[in-house]
Chain A
Amino acid sequence: MAQELVFFKYIDDPNQHKIDTYIEHGGYQAIQKVLKDFKPPDVIAKVKESGVRGRGGAGFPAGLKWSFVPQNTGKPIYLACNGDESEPGTCKDRVIMENDPHMLIEGIMICCYAINAHHAFIYIRGEFAFPAARVEGAVNEAYAKGYLGKNIFNSGFDLDVVVHTGGGAYICGEETALLSSLEGSRGNSRIRPPFPAVSGLYKCPTVINNVETLSSLPSIFNNGIEWYRSHGTEKSPGTKIFSLSGNVNKPGNYEVDLGTPLSYVINELGGGMQDGHKLKAIIPGGSSTPLLMPDQIDTPLDYESMAAAGSMLGSGAIIVIDERCCMVWALMKLINFYAHESCGRCTPCREGTAWLKQLINRIENGEGQQGDIELILDACDNIIGRTICPLGDAAVMPTRSFIKHFRDEFEYHIEHKTCKVKTDYPFV
Protein backbone atom coordinates (compact mmCIF):
# COMPACT_ATOMS: atom_id res chain seq x y z
CA MET A 1 0.00 0.00 0.00
CA ALA A 2 1.99 2.99 -1.29
CA GLN A 3 1.01 6.24 0.36
CA GLU A 4 1.32 9.68 -1.22
CA LEU A 5 2.58 11.96 1.47
CA VAL A 6 1.51 15.52 2.20
CA PHE A 7 2.96 16.44 5.57
CA PHE A 8 5.93 14.12 5.29
CA LYS A 9 6.78 14.67 1.63
CA TYR A 10 10.08 16.34 2.49
CA ILE A 11 10.53 14.83 5.94
CA ASP A 12 14.01 13.55 5.01
CA ASP A 13 15.28 16.93 3.84
CA PRO A 14 17.16 18.48 6.77
CA ASN A 15 16.71 21.96 5.27
CA GLN A 16 12.95 21.82 4.74
CA HIS A 17 12.38 24.17 7.69
CA LYS A 18 14.23 26.95 5.82
CA ILE A 19 12.24 29.28 3.65
CA ASP A 20 14.40 28.93 0.53
CA THR A 21 14.12 25.15 0.57
CA TYR A 22 10.39 25.38 1.16
CA ILE A 23 10.06 27.73 -1.84
CA GLU A 24 12.24 25.43 -4.00
CA HIS A 25 9.79 22.66 -3.17
CA GLY A 26 6.85 24.72 -4.41
CA GLY A 27 6.11 26.51 -1.17
CA TYR A 28 4.13 29.78 -0.96
CA GLN A 29 2.58 29.11 -4.40
CA ALA A 30 -0.81 28.21 -2.92
CA ILE A 31 -1.20 31.45 -0.97
CA GLN A 32 -0.23 33.52 -4.03
CA LYS A 33 -2.83 31.69 -6.09
CA VAL A 34 -5.43 32.18 -3.35
CA LEU A 35 -4.73 35.92 -2.99
CA LYS A 36 -4.83 36.44 -6.75
CA ASP A 37 -7.69 34.22 -7.88
CA PHE A 38 -10.04 33.86 -4.93
CA LYS A 39 -12.36 36.07 -2.93
CA PRO A 40 -12.41 35.11 0.79
CA PRO A 41 -15.89 33.47 0.63
CA ASP A 42 -14.66 31.35 -2.29
CA VAL A 43 -11.76 30.10 -0.17
CA ILE A 44 -14.21 29.03 2.51
CA ALA A 45 -16.38 27.33 -0.10
CA LYS A 46 -13.37 25.49 -1.48
CA VAL A 47 -12.26 24.30 1.95
CA LYS A 48 -15.82 23.13 2.68
CA GLU A 49 -15.81 21.25 -0.60
CA SER A 50 -12.48 19.60 0.23
CA GLY A 51 -14.11 18.16 3.34
CA VAL A 52 -10.98 18.69 5.47
CA ARG A 53 -11.82 18.03 9.10
CA GLY A 54 -10.17 19.30 12.26
CA ARG A 55 -7.15 17.18 13.11
CA GLY A 56 -6.98 18.16 16.77
CA GLY A 57 -9.40 15.46 17.83
CA ALA A 58 -12.97 16.53 17.24
CA GLY A 59 -12.95 16.20 13.44
CA PHE A 60 -15.15 19.25 12.91
CA PRO A 61 -15.26 20.38 9.25
CA ALA A 62 -12.81 23.28 8.98
CA GLY A 63 -14.68 25.21 6.26
CA LEU A 64 -17.88 25.09 8.25
CA LYS A 65 -16.10 26.40 11.36
CA TRP A 66 -14.76 29.33 9.35
CA SER A 67 -18.21 30.13 7.99
CA PHE A 68 -19.50 30.77 11.53
CA VAL A 69 -17.34 33.88 11.85
CA PRO A 70 -19.53 36.99 11.57
CA GLN A 71 -18.03 39.55 9.20
CA ASN A 72 -20.10 42.54 10.26
CA THR A 73 -19.26 43.15 13.93
CA GLY A 74 -16.69 45.86 13.32
CA LYS A 75 -14.33 43.99 15.64
CA PRO A 76 -11.03 42.46 14.56
CA ILE A 77 -11.09 38.74 13.74
CA TYR A 78 -8.38 36.45 15.05
CA LEU A 79 -6.93 33.07 14.23
CA ALA A 80 -5.48 30.97 17.04
CA CYS A 81 -3.48 28.00 15.82
CA ASN A 82 -3.56 25.20 18.35
CA GLY A 83 -0.11 23.68 18.80
CA ASP A 84 -0.60 22.78 22.45
CA GLU A 85 -0.37 19.06 21.63
CA SER A 86 -0.57 17.43 25.06
CA GLU A 87 -2.94 14.46 24.84
CA PRO A 88 -0.87 11.48 26.00
CA GLY A 89 0.30 9.52 22.99
CA THR A 90 0.18 12.50 20.64
CA CYS A 91 3.35 13.90 19.10
CA LYS A 92 2.38 14.66 15.50
CA ASP A 93 2.08 18.46 15.35
CA ARG A 94 5.56 18.67 16.70
CA VAL A 95 6.90 16.93 13.56
CA ILE A 96 5.26 19.54 11.31
CA MET A 97 6.46 22.43 13.47
CA GLU A 98 10.02 21.09 13.57
CA ASN A 99 10.40 19.95 9.99
CA ASP A 100 8.03 21.97 7.86
CA PRO A 101 7.01 25.13 9.73
CA HIS A 102 6.47 27.14 6.54
CA MET A 103 3.73 24.72 5.48
CA LEU A 104 1.95 25.71 8.69
CA ILE A 105 2.56 29.42 8.12
CA GLU A 106 1.25 29.19 4.55
CA GLY A 107 -1.83 27.39 5.86
CA ILE A 108 -2.31 30.16 8.42
CA MET A 109 -2.11 32.75 5.64
CA ILE A 110 -4.80 30.96 3.63
CA CYS A 111 -7.09 30.67 6.64
CA CYS A 112 -6.59 34.29 7.71
CA TYR A 113 -7.37 35.55 4.22
CA ALA A 114 -10.53 33.42 4.13
CA ILE A 115 -11.87 34.62 7.48
CA ASN A 116 -10.54 38.17 7.11
CA ALA A 117 -8.15 37.97 10.07
CA HIS A 118 -5.06 40.13 10.19
CA HIS A 119 -3.59 38.75 13.36
CA ALA A 120 -2.81 35.09 14.03
CA PHE A 121 -1.35 33.48 17.13
CA ILE A 122 0.38 30.13 17.18
CA TYR A 123 -0.05 28.68 20.67
CA ILE A 124 2.66 26.06 21.25
CA ARG A 125 2.98 24.04 24.45
CA GLY A 126 5.74 25.47 26.62
CA GLU A 127 7.83 22.32 26.78
CA PHE A 128 8.23 22.39 22.98
CA ALA A 129 11.11 24.86 23.09
CA PHE A 130 12.74 23.48 19.95
CA PRO A 131 9.59 23.26 17.79
CA ALA A 132 8.62 26.77 18.95
CA ALA A 133 12.06 28.09 18.03
CA ARG A 134 11.74 26.46 14.61
CA VAL A 135 8.32 28.03 14.02
CA GLU A 136 9.47 31.42 15.28
CA GLY A 137 12.55 31.21 13.03
CA ALA A 138 10.27 30.48 10.09
CA VAL A 139 7.97 33.38 10.98
CA ASN A 140 10.98 35.70 11.10
CA GLU A 141 12.15 34.43 7.70
CA ALA A 142 8.69 35.05 6.26
CA TYR A 143 8.70 38.63 7.61
CA ALA A 144 12.19 39.23 6.20
CA LYS A 145 11.00 38.16 2.74
CA GLY A 146 7.91 40.38 3.00
CA TYR A 147 5.58 37.36 3.08
CA LEU A 148 4.17 38.52 6.40
CA GLY A 149 3.37 42.06 7.53
CA LYS A 150 1.81 44.74 5.36
CA ASN A 151 0.45 44.09 1.88
CA ILE A 152 1.62 40.50 1.49
CA PHE A 153 2.40 39.48 -2.08
CA ASN A 154 1.12 42.92 -3.21
CA SER A 155 -2.42 41.80 -2.48
CA GLY A 156 -3.34 44.61 -0.14
CA PHE A 157 -3.82 42.00 2.58
CA ASP A 158 -1.97 42.55 5.89
CA LEU A 159 -1.10 39.72 8.26
CA ASP A 160 0.87 39.48 11.49
CA VAL A 161 1.74 36.12 13.02
CA VAL A 162 2.86 35.74 16.63
CA VAL A 163 4.36 32.65 18.24
CA HIS A 164 3.11 32.19 21.81
CA THR A 165 4.31 29.45 24.16
CA GLY A 166 2.37 27.94 27.05
CA GLY A 167 3.29 26.90 30.56
CA GLY A 168 2.76 23.15 30.67
CA ALA A 169 -1.01 22.75 30.91
CA TYR A 170 -2.90 20.11 28.91
CA ILE A 171 -6.12 22.04 29.38
CA CYS A 172 -4.80 24.86 27.19
CA GLY A 173 -5.30 22.58 24.20
CA GLU A 174 -9.02 22.94 24.86
CA GLU A 175 -10.04 25.86 22.67
CA THR A 176 -11.58 28.17 25.25
CA ALA A 177 -8.83 27.50 27.80
CA LEU A 178 -6.31 28.25 25.08
CA LEU A 179 -7.92 31.66 24.63
CA SER A 180 -7.88 32.34 28.40
CA SER A 181 -4.21 31.43 28.45
CA LEU A 182 -3.43 33.56 25.42
CA GLU A 183 -5.05 36.50 27.20
CA GLY A 184 -2.63 36.06 30.10
CA SER A 185 -4.96 34.29 32.50
CA ARG A 186 -5.01 30.90 34.16
CA GLY A 187 -5.97 28.28 31.59
CA ASN A 188 -9.59 27.94 32.62
CA SER A 189 -12.10 26.79 30.04
CA ARG A 190 -15.18 28.91 29.39
CA ILE A 191 -18.87 28.13 29.12
CA ARG A 192 -20.25 28.04 25.59
CA PRO A 193 -22.23 29.84 24.19
CA PRO A 194 -20.91 32.27 23.23
CA PHE A 195 -18.77 30.21 20.88
CA PRO A 196 -15.30 31.51 20.02
CA ALA A 197 -16.37 32.14 16.42
CA VAL A 198 -18.59 34.91 17.82
CA SER A 199 -16.79 35.92 21.01
CA GLY A 200 -13.33 34.44 21.39
CA LEU A 201 -9.94 36.04 21.88
CA TYR A 202 -10.32 39.49 23.53
CA LYS A 203 -14.08 38.96 23.03
CA CYS A 204 -13.63 39.13 19.26
CA PRO A 205 -14.60 36.56 16.61
CA THR A 206 -11.94 33.85 16.61
CA VAL A 207 -11.18 30.67 14.73
CA ILE A 208 -9.14 27.99 16.49
CA ASN A 209 -7.57 25.35 14.24
CA ASN A 210 -5.06 22.61 14.91
CA VAL A 211 -1.53 22.71 13.40
CA GLU A 212 -2.17 19.67 11.20
CA THR A 213 -5.49 21.05 9.92
CA LEU A 214 -3.94 24.36 8.84
CA SER A 215 -0.90 22.62 7.37
CA SER A 216 -3.09 20.60 5.03
CA LEU A 217 -4.40 23.76 3.30
CA PRO A 218 -1.48 24.53 0.93
CA SER A 219 -1.67 21.04 -0.59
CA ILE A 220 -5.41 21.42 -1.17
CA PHE A 221 -4.94 24.65 -3.13
CA ASN A 222 -1.86 23.40 -4.97
CA ASN A 223 -3.34 20.11 -6.10
CA GLY A 224 -7.07 20.68 -6.14
CA ILE A 225 -10.12 19.29 -4.45
CA GLU A 226 -10.28 16.16 -6.56
CA TRP A 227 -6.73 15.23 -5.63
CA TYR A 228 -7.39 15.88 -1.94
CA ARG A 229 -10.55 13.81 -1.95
CA SER A 230 -8.77 10.98 -3.75
CA HIS A 231 -7.13 10.41 -0.37
CA GLY A 232 -9.09 9.07 2.55
CA THR A 233 -12.77 8.21 2.52
CA GLU A 234 -15.90 10.02 1.37
CA LYS A 235 -16.62 11.46 4.81
CA SER A 236 -13.03 11.54 6.11
CA PRO A 237 -10.95 12.84 3.22
CA GLY A 238 -7.21 13.42 3.13
CA THR A 239 -4.19 11.98 4.86
CA LYS A 240 -3.43 12.10 8.57
CA ILE A 241 -0.42 11.68 10.79
CA PHE A 242 -0.72 8.89 13.34
CA SER A 243 1.58 8.83 16.37
CA LEU A 244 2.28 5.17 17.08
CA SER A 245 3.61 4.42 20.56
CA GLY A 246 3.75 1.67 23.15
CA ASN A 247 4.60 -1.98 22.60
CA VAL A 248 5.43 -2.10 18.90
CA ASN A 249 8.79 -2.70 17.26
CA LYS A 250 8.94 0.62 15.42
CA PRO A 251 7.08 3.40 17.20
CA GLY A 252 6.94 6.61 15.18
CA ASN A 253 4.83 9.17 13.38
CA TYR A 254 3.31 7.77 10.22
CA GLU A 255 1.25 9.55 7.60
CA VAL A 256 -1.42 7.48 5.86
CA ASP A 257 -4.72 8.02 4.05
CA LEU A 258 -7.68 8.18 6.39
CA GLY A 259 -9.50 4.86 6.15
CA THR A 260 -6.27 2.84 6.27
CA PRO A 261 -6.72 -0.22 8.51
CA LEU A 262 -5.29 0.14 12.00
CA SER A 263 -3.54 -3.21 11.50
CA TYR A 264 -1.52 -1.73 8.61
CA VAL A 265 -0.12 1.01 10.84
CA ILE A 266 0.64 -1.37 13.70
CA ASN A 267 1.95 -4.35 11.76
CA GLU A 268 3.41 -2.98 8.53
CA LEU A 269 4.61 0.50 9.48
CA GLY A 270 5.15 -0.23 13.16
CA GLY A 271 6.83 -3.56 12.57
CA GLY A 272 4.32 -5.52 14.63
CA MET A 273 4.25 -6.26 18.33
CA GLN A 274 7.40 -5.53 20.32
CA ASP A 275 9.66 -8.60 20.45
CA GLY A 276 6.75 -10.87 19.51
CA HIS A 277 4.62 -10.02 22.54
CA LYS A 278 0.88 -10.49 22.38
CA LEU A 279 -1.55 -7.67 21.68
CA LYS A 280 -3.82 -6.97 24.63
CA ALA A 281 -5.58 -3.71 23.78
CA ILE A 282 -5.20 -0.53 21.75
CA ILE A 283 -5.91 3.06 22.75
CA PRO A 284 -6.56 4.28 19.22
CA GLY A 285 -6.90 8.07 19.33
CA GLY A 286 -5.10 9.51 22.34
CA SER A 287 -5.46 8.68 26.02
CA SER A 288 -9.08 9.83 26.27
CA THR A 289 -10.45 7.42 23.67
CA PRO A 290 -12.07 4.07 24.57
CA LEU A 291 -10.06 0.88 24.02
CA LEU A 292 -10.19 -1.28 20.94
CA MET A 293 -9.65 -5.01 21.47
CA PRO A 294 -7.38 -7.28 19.39
CA ASP A 295 -10.25 -8.53 17.22
CA GLN A 296 -10.87 -4.91 16.13
CA ILE A 297 -7.38 -4.39 14.75
CA ASP A 298 -8.61 -4.14 11.17
CA THR A 299 -10.86 -1.15 11.93
CA PRO A 300 -10.30 1.56 9.29
CA LEU A 301 -8.72 4.71 10.67
CA ASP A 302 -11.42 7.23 9.84
CA TYR A 303 -13.89 9.17 11.98
CA GLU A 304 -16.95 7.07 11.10
CA SER A 305 -15.38 3.62 11.36
CA MET A 306 -13.76 4.38 14.69
CA ALA A 307 -17.06 5.66 16.08
CA ALA A 308 -18.83 2.53 14.79
CA ALA A 309 -16.20 0.42 16.58
CA GLY A 310 -17.06 2.19 19.85
CA SER A 311 -14.07 4.51 20.02
CA MET A 312 -12.78 7.69 18.40
CA LEU A 313 -10.15 8.68 15.87
CA GLY A 314 -9.26 11.53 18.23
CA SER A 315 -5.82 13.03 17.71
CA GLY A 316 -4.56 9.93 15.92
CA ALA A 317 -2.38 8.75 18.79
CA ILE A 318 -2.31 4.96 18.69
CA ILE A 319 -1.05 3.47 21.95
CA VAL A 320 -0.44 -0.28 21.70
CA ILE A 321 -0.59 -2.36 24.88
CA ASP A 322 0.75 -5.92 25.16
CA GLU A 323 0.02 -8.82 27.53
CA ARG A 324 2.65 -7.72 30.08
CA CYS A 325 0.49 -4.77 31.12
CA CYS A 326 -1.75 -4.65 34.19
CA MET A 327 -4.77 -2.64 33.11
CA VAL A 328 -5.32 -1.18 36.59
CA TRP A 329 -1.78 0.17 36.47
CA ALA A 330 -2.33 1.55 32.97
CA LEU A 331 -5.59 3.26 33.94
CA MET A 332 -3.89 4.71 37.01
CA LYS A 333 -1.31 6.36 34.73
CA LEU A 334 -4.10 7.90 32.65
CA ILE A 335 -6.25 9.05 35.54
CA ASN A 336 -3.38 10.59 37.46
CA PHE A 337 -2.88 12.68 34.34
CA TYR A 338 -6.47 13.89 34.13
CA ALA A 339 -6.63 14.68 37.84
CA HIS A 340 -3.41 16.68 37.51
CA GLU A 341 -4.55 18.51 34.39
CA SER A 342 -8.11 19.41 35.43
CA CYS A 343 -8.18 23.22 35.51
CA GLY A 344 -10.29 23.12 38.68
CA ARG A 345 -12.91 25.56 37.54
CA CYS A 346 -15.93 23.26 37.56
CA THR A 347 -16.77 20.92 40.41
CA PRO A 348 -17.65 17.67 38.60
CA CYS A 349 -14.28 17.61 36.86
CA ARG A 350 -12.13 18.92 39.73
CA GLU A 351 -13.67 16.69 42.41
CA GLY A 352 -14.59 13.84 40.09
CA THR A 353 -11.12 13.31 38.65
CA ALA A 354 -9.69 13.52 42.18
CA TRP A 355 -12.09 10.78 43.31
CA LEU A 356 -11.20 8.61 40.32
CA LYS A 357 -7.52 9.10 41.05
CA GLN A 358 -7.90 8.18 44.71
CA LEU A 359 -9.99 5.08 44.04
CA ILE A 360 -7.90 3.72 41.19
CA ASN A 361 -4.66 4.35 43.03
CA ARG A 362 -5.89 2.54 46.10
CA ILE A 363 -6.91 -0.48 44.03
CA GLU A 364 -3.53 -0.48 42.32
CA ASN A 365 -1.78 -0.16 45.69
CA GLY A 366 -3.58 -3.21 47.09
CA GLU A 367 -5.94 -1.20 49.29
CA GLY A 368 -9.04 -1.56 47.16
CA GLN A 369 -12.34 -2.35 48.86
CA GLN A 370 -15.45 -4.19 47.73
CA GLY A 371 -17.69 -1.68 46.01
CA ASP A 372 -14.83 0.45 44.67
CA ILE A 373 -15.59 -0.44 41.06
CA GLU A 374 -19.21 0.62 41.51
CA LEU A 375 -18.05 3.80 43.20
CA ILE A 376 -15.73 4.58 40.27
CA LEU A 377 -18.55 4.06 37.77
CA ASP A 378 -20.85 6.19 39.90
CA ALA A 379 -18.28 9.00 39.91
CA CYS A 380 -18.05 8.64 36.12
CA ASP A 381 -21.83 9.10 35.82
CA ASN A 382 -21.55 12.30 37.81
CA ILE A 383 -18.78 13.75 35.65
CA ILE A 384 -19.71 12.97 32.08
CA GLY A 385 -21.81 15.60 30.35
CA ARG A 386 -21.81 17.83 33.44
CA THR A 387 -18.61 19.80 32.88
CA ILE A 388 -17.72 23.07 31.20
CA CYS A 389 -15.29 21.44 28.78
CA PRO A 390 -14.54 17.90 27.57
CA LEU A 391 -11.67 17.23 30.03
CA GLY A 392 -14.01 15.50 32.45
CA ASP A 393 -15.42 13.33 29.68
CA ALA A 394 -11.87 12.55 28.61
CA ALA A 395 -11.21 11.02 32.04
CA VAL A 396 -14.48 9.07 32.07
CA MET A 397 -14.21 7.46 28.63
CA PRO A 398 -11.04 5.42 29.29
CA THR A 399 -12.18 4.60 32.84
CA ARG A 400 -15.46 3.07 31.68
CA SER A 401 -13.77 1.31 28.81
CA PHE A 402 -10.97 -0.22 30.93
CA ILE A 403 -13.52 -1.51 33.46
CA LYS A 404 -15.83 -2.79 30.73
CA HIS A 405 -13.13 -4.85 29.03
CA PHE A 406 -10.93 -5.77 31.99
CA ARG A 407 -13.27 -5.82 34.98
CA ASP A 408 -11.74 -9.16 36.03
CA GLU A 409 -8.35 -7.48 36.56
CA PHE A 410 -9.92 -4.79 38.76
CA GLU A 411 -11.82 -7.42 40.77
CA TYR A 412 -8.70 -9.59 41.11
CA HIS A 413 -6.79 -6.55 42.36
CA ILE A 414 -9.39 -5.80 45.02
CA GLU A 415 -9.68 -9.40 46.16
CA HIS A 416 -6.00 -10.40 46.10
CA LYS A 417 -4.49 -6.97 46.88
CA THR A 418 -2.11 -7.37 43.98
CA CYS A 419 -1.95 -7.38 40.17
CA LYS A 420 -3.26 -10.24 38.11
CA VAL A 421 -0.49 -9.32 35.67
CA LYS A 422 2.62 -7.94 37.32
CA THR A 423 3.78 -5.03 35.15
CA ASP A 424 7.53 -4.61 34.89
CA TYR A 425 8.61 -3.14 31.58
CA PRO A 426 12.39 -3.36 31.46
CA PHE A 427 14.72 -0.42 30.94
CA VAL A 428 17.99 -1.49 29.41
Chain B
Amino acid sequence: MILKESTIKEIKTRMVRYPSRRSAILPALTAAYRQVGHLNNAVYKEISRVIEIPYVEIAEAATFYTMFPKHEVGKYLIQVCHNISCSLRGADNMLLYLQEKLGIKMGETTPDNLFTLISVECLGGCSAAPMMQINQDYYEDLTREKIDNILADLRAKADEEGK
Protein backbone atom coordinates (compact mmCIF):
# COMPACT_ATOMS: atom_id res chain seq x y z
CA MET B 1 0.00 0.00 0.00
CA ILE B 2 1.23 3.45 -0.92
CA LEU B 3 -1.51 5.55 0.67
CA LYS B 4 -1.33 5.92 4.42
CA GLU B 5 -4.31 5.31 6.67
CA SER B 6 -4.54 9.06 7.36
CA THR B 7 -4.67 9.85 3.63
CA ILE B 8 -7.40 7.28 3.03
CA LYS B 9 -9.32 8.69 5.97
CA GLU B 10 -9.07 12.20 4.55
CA ILE B 11 -10.31 11.03 1.16
CA LYS B 12 -13.27 9.26 2.72
CA THR B 13 -14.13 12.27 4.89
CA ARG B 14 -14.18 14.52 1.84
CA MET B 15 -16.02 12.03 -0.35
CA VAL B 16 -19.24 12.10 1.68
CA ARG B 17 -19.57 15.87 1.28
CA TYR B 18 -20.56 15.49 -2.39
CA PRO B 19 -23.81 14.28 -3.93
CA SER B 20 -21.67 12.12 -6.25
CA ARG B 21 -18.64 9.96 -5.36
CA ARG B 22 -17.02 10.99 -8.63
CA SER B 23 -16.52 14.49 -7.29
CA ALA B 24 -14.06 13.04 -4.79
CA ILE B 25 -11.53 12.33 -7.57
CA LEU B 26 -9.74 15.70 -7.36
CA PRO B 27 -9.74 15.82 -3.56
CA ALA B 28 -8.36 12.26 -3.57
CA LEU B 29 -5.63 13.14 -6.07
CA THR B 30 -4.73 16.18 -3.98
CA ALA B 31 -4.51 14.19 -0.76
CA ALA B 32 -2.43 11.48 -2.46
CA TYR B 33 -0.11 14.02 -4.08
CA ARG B 34 0.53 15.76 -0.78
CA GLN B 35 1.46 12.48 0.85
CA VAL B 36 3.44 10.83 -1.96
CA GLY B 37 4.87 13.87 -3.75
CA HIS B 38 3.76 12.67 -7.18
CA LEU B 39 1.08 10.52 -8.83
CA ASN B 40 1.28 7.34 -10.91
CA ASN B 41 -0.77 4.31 -11.95
CA ALA B 42 -0.26 2.54 -8.64
CA VAL B 43 -1.68 5.55 -6.80
CA TYR B 44 -4.67 5.76 -9.17
CA LYS B 45 -5.41 2.09 -8.50
CA GLU B 46 -5.44 2.64 -4.76
CA ILE B 47 -7.66 5.71 -5.08
CA SER B 48 -9.95 3.69 -7.32
CA ARG B 49 -10.43 1.14 -4.54
CA VAL B 50 -11.03 3.80 -1.89
CA ILE B 51 -13.66 5.82 -3.73
CA GLU B 52 -15.01 2.92 -5.82
CA ILE B 53 -14.64 4.65 -9.17
CA PRO B 54 -13.03 2.77 -12.10
CA TYR B 55 -9.27 3.18 -12.31
CA VAL B 56 -9.44 4.52 -15.85
CA GLU B 57 -11.62 7.44 -14.78
CA ILE B 58 -9.12 8.38 -12.08
CA ALA B 59 -6.26 8.25 -14.59
CA GLU B 60 -8.30 10.14 -17.17
CA ALA B 61 -8.89 13.01 -14.79
CA ALA B 62 -5.41 13.00 -13.24
CA THR B 63 -3.61 13.31 -16.57
CA PHE B 64 -5.49 16.53 -17.30
CA TYR B 65 -4.26 18.35 -14.21
CA THR B 66 -0.69 19.58 -14.56
CA MET B 67 -0.24 20.55 -10.92
CA PHE B 68 0.39 16.94 -9.96
CA PRO B 69 3.79 15.61 -11.12
CA LYS B 70 3.38 12.21 -12.79
CA HIS B 71 6.87 11.00 -11.95
CA GLU B 72 9.12 11.16 -8.94
CA VAL B 73 10.49 14.58 -8.01
CA GLY B 74 12.85 15.84 -5.32
CA LYS B 75 11.78 16.38 -1.74
CA TYR B 76 11.19 20.01 -2.60
CA LEU B 77 9.51 20.80 -5.92
CA ILE B 78 10.44 24.35 -6.90
CA GLN B 79 7.92 25.83 -9.32
CA VAL B 80 8.87 29.24 -10.65
CA CYS B 81 6.24 31.40 -12.33
CA HIS B 82 7.39 32.37 -15.82
CA ASN B 83 4.32 34.32 -16.89
CA ILE B 84 4.14 38.01 -17.78
CA SER B 85 3.92 39.76 -14.40
CA CYS B 86 6.82 37.78 -12.95
CA SER B 87 8.83 38.10 -16.19
CA LEU B 88 8.53 41.89 -16.06
CA ARG B 89 10.16 41.70 -12.61
CA GLY B 90 13.10 39.50 -13.62
CA ALA B 91 11.76 35.92 -13.54
CA ASP B 92 13.96 34.88 -16.51
CA ASN B 93 17.09 35.94 -14.68
CA MET B 94 15.79 34.46 -11.45
CA LEU B 95 15.50 31.10 -13.20
CA LEU B 96 19.11 31.40 -14.36
CA TYR B 97 20.15 32.22 -10.81
CA LEU B 98 18.31 29.20 -9.40
CA GLN B 99 19.87 26.88 -11.98
CA GLU B 100 23.32 28.21 -11.15
CA LYS B 101 22.70 28.04 -7.41
CA LEU B 102 21.34 24.46 -7.53
CA GLY B 103 23.75 23.30 -10.23
CA ILE B 104 20.94 21.82 -12.32
CA LYS B 105 19.04 22.69 -15.47
CA MET B 106 15.31 23.21 -15.79
CA GLY B 107 13.38 20.02 -15.14
CA GLU B 108 16.26 18.35 -13.32
CA THR B 109 16.67 17.16 -9.76
CA THR B 110 19.74 17.72 -7.59
CA PRO B 111 21.84 14.56 -7.02
CA ASP B 112 20.89 14.52 -3.34
CA ASN B 113 17.21 14.32 -4.42
CA LEU B 114 16.38 17.46 -2.48
CA PHE B 115 15.34 19.92 -5.18
CA THR B 116 13.54 19.65 -8.51
CA LEU B 117 13.35 22.86 -10.53
CA ILE B 118 10.60 23.61 -13.04
CA SER B 119 8.85 26.71 -14.32
CA VAL B 120 5.08 26.97 -14.50
CA GLU B 121 2.28 29.26 -15.62
CA CYS B 122 0.85 32.08 -13.49
CA LEU B 123 0.44 31.12 -9.83
CA GLY B 124 -1.57 34.17 -8.81
CA GLY B 125 1.22 35.97 -6.99
CA CYS B 126 1.46 38.71 -9.63
CA SER B 127 1.58 41.69 -7.31
CA ALA B 128 4.46 40.13 -5.36
CA ALA B 129 6.58 39.14 -8.35
CA PRO B 130 8.87 37.43 -8.94
CA MET B 131 7.62 34.47 -7.00
CA MET B 132 7.80 30.69 -6.73
CA GLN B 133 6.03 27.83 -5.04
CA ILE B 134 7.91 25.12 -3.18
CA ASN B 135 5.65 22.17 -2.45
CA GLN B 136 2.56 23.85 -0.95
CA ASP B 137 4.16 27.16 0.06
CA TYR B 138 4.40 30.46 -1.83
CA TYR B 139 7.58 32.57 -1.68
CA GLU B 140 7.10 36.07 -3.01
CA ASP B 141 8.88 39.38 -3.72
CA LEU B 142 12.00 37.29 -4.26
CA THR B 143 15.59 38.54 -4.34
CA ARG B 144 18.88 36.68 -4.65
CA GLU B 145 19.35 37.02 -0.91
CA LYS B 146 15.89 35.61 -0.14
CA ILE B 147 16.49 32.64 -2.43
CA ASP B 148 19.82 31.94 -0.73
CA ASN B 149 18.07 31.92 2.65
CA ILE B 150 15.12 29.83 1.51
CA LEU B 151 17.34 27.12 0.02
CA ALA B 152 19.62 27.11 3.08
CA ASP B 153 16.62 26.78 5.39
CA LEU B 154 15.17 23.89 3.40
CA ARG B 155 18.54 22.11 3.33
CA ALA B 156 18.84 22.51 7.10
CA LYS B 157 15.28 21.25 7.57
CA ALA B 158 15.99 18.20 5.42
CA ASP B 159 19.19 17.49 7.38
CA GLU B 160 17.28 17.66 10.62
CA GLU B 161 14.64 15.28 9.37
CA GLY B 162 17.42 12.93 8.26
CA LYS B 163 15.85 13.22 4.79
Binding site for B on A (CB under 8 A): 76, 85-91, 94, 119, 125-130, 160, 162, 164-170, 181-187, 202, 243-247, 251-253, 283, 287, 317, 319-322, 325, 330, 333-334, 337, 340-341, 343, 424-428
Which segment, of B102-110, B128-136, B153-161, faces chain A? Answer: B128-136
Q: Decide if B23 touches A427 in the complex (CB within 8 Å).
A: no
B17 neighbours in A (Cβ, 8 Å)? 160, 162
Most buried by B among A169, A333, A337, A343: A333
**Contact check: which of B66, B88, B90, B128 meets A321 at CB < 8 Å?**
B88
Does B72 have its Cβ within 8 Å of any Cβ on chain A?
A: no
Bound-state Cα–Cα, A156 to B142, Å: 50
B67 neighbours in A (Cβ, 8 Å)? 126-127, 166-169
**Contact check: which of B19, B26, B87, B120 meets A76 at CB < 8 Å?**
B19
A167 neighbours in B (Cβ, 8 Å)? 26, 29-30, 62, 64-68
CB distance from A22 to the nearest CB of B (A): 23
CB distance from B77 to the nearest CB of A (A): 12
3 pairs of A and B residues whose beta carbons are closest in the complex: A167-B65, A168-B67, A427-B90
**Contact check: which of A130, A168, A243, A343 meets B126 at CB < 8 Å?**
A243
Binding site for A on B (CB under 8 A): 17-20, 22-27, 29-30, 53, 57, 60-62, 64-68, 82-85, 87-94, 96-97, 120-130, 133, 136-138, 142-144
**Contact check: which of B26, B97, B128 meets A181 at CB < 8 Å?**
B26
CB distance from B6 to the nearest CB of A (A): 16
Q: Decide if A253 touches B23 in the complex (CB within 8 Å).
A: no
CB distance from B3 to the nearest CB of A (A): 18
Q: What are 6 A-B pairs at a CB distance below 8 A?
A: A86-B122, A130-B137, A184-B26, A246-B84, A251-B126, A334-B84
Bound-state Cα–Cα, A88 to B83, Å: 7
Bound-state Cα–Cα, A425 to B130, Å: 11
Most buried by A among B62, B68, B136, B144: B136
B142 neighbours in A (Cβ, 8 Å)? 427
Q: Decide if A184 touches B20 in the complex (CB within 8 Å).
A: yes
Bound-state Cα–Cα, A185 to B24, Å: 10
Given A86-B122, A167-B67, A252-B127, 20 additional A-B pairs, CB 8 A: A76-B19, A126-B26, A130-B138, A165-B26, A165-B30, A167-B68, A183-B22, A184-B23, A184-B24, A184-B57, A185-B60, A186-B60, A187-B64, A245-B85, A251-B127, A251-B128, A319-B84, A425-B88, A427-B91, A427-B144
Assuming the A-B contacts A165-B30, A169-B66, A325-B88, are A91 and B127 also in contact, with contact meaning beta carbons closer than 8 angstroms in the complex?
Answer: yes
**Contact check: which of A90, A183, A247, A427 meets B124 at CB < 8 Å?**
A90
A186 neighbours in B (Cβ, 8 Å)? 60-61, 64
